[in-house]
Structure 1
Amino acid sequence: MKQLPEILSADWSPQLGALGEVVEDVADIDQCIRIILTTQPGTDPLRPLFGCDVWRWLDAPVDIALPHVVREVYAAIGMWEPRAEVVGVTLSPGDGESHWRVRVNWQPAGAPSQRQTEVSYV
């Protein structure tokens, strides 16, 4: 377990699913993007607008869903994660267990290195 003096970054948060662990810097941004994309707006009572409306398009055909999913991802990350700049979004059918896979290519704000975050929707 990391103690507070061992955390070296100004941006950090508890790591989901790992008691006593933290994520810092780029890993923290990645985790925040995952949280944003998997939260339906209205489910956080203290922030009713927090989340992403990708859920509304999960049952639509790909050609109809794609522009809406891209719009929702750009809007949600733009509103809730100012440390990341979205470079691109791809939507693909999931494997047998997931319905859709959304892959977000992003970069830390002001940095040239690109990262990728993938979220599966069931």
Structure 2
Amino acid sequence: MADELKSFLGTGWSFPPFFDKANHTVQMVSDITDIEQSLRIILSTTPGERIMQPEFGCGLKLLIFEKTDSTLIARLNHIIYHALLNYEPRVNFIDTEILNRDDLDGVLSIQVNFRVIITNTRHNIVFPFYLLEGTNVSTR
């Protein structure tokens, strides 16, 4: 645990938060795990959701029901780039890739490629983007 507190990439609460009742502690994460969890929080938060930080987040939910084409991919790149630029100073955004072009299941798997600035290492996360949120796609 002492090594986690000295991490040069950062240390924070795990997400979702996990409380160890036996030790009366909060589970902490550090290094690339902390960064990946931070990115997932940014991507899944809609601006306006947080009262004390109304601009925090990424407006991906504004793109629900959009047609999967080059325009959508360009908009995804733009929105994600600006969200990471503003809210995750430990990384440089590289690009996004859509892993599944067939959006009939209502989910696009977005691979976000980024570089950790301090170590100059490339990483990626895959973020599920639900195009048909709240619908039962199997009844089409």
Structure 2 alignment gaps of length 5 or more: 20-25, 131-140
Secondary structure of residue in 2 paired with 1:9: coil
State the shift of 1:112 in Å.
2.6
- Tell me which of 50, 53, 65 is aligned to 1:59: 65
**Secondary structure class of the residue paired with 1:69:** helix
Change (3 A) 1:5 1:104: closer
Instruction: Indicate the structure (1 or 2) with the bigger Cα radius of gyration.
Output: 2
Q: What does residue 119 of structure 1 align with? A: 127
Structure 1 counterpart SS, 2:76: helix
Aligned-residue CA RMSD (Å): 2.1
Q: Which residue of 1 aligns with 2:36?
A: 30
Normalization by structure 1: what TM-score? Answer: 0.84
The answer on whether the counterparts of 2:4 and 2:30 sit within 8 Å (CA) in structure 1 is no
CA distance in 2, matches of 1:85, 1:69: 16
TM-score normalised according to structure 2 size: 0.75
Percent identical across equivalent pairs?
22
**Shift in Å at residue 28 of structure 1?**
1.0
Aligned equivalents of 1:29 and 1:87: distance in 2? 15
Q: Indicate whether 1:50 and 2:56 are aligned.
A: yes
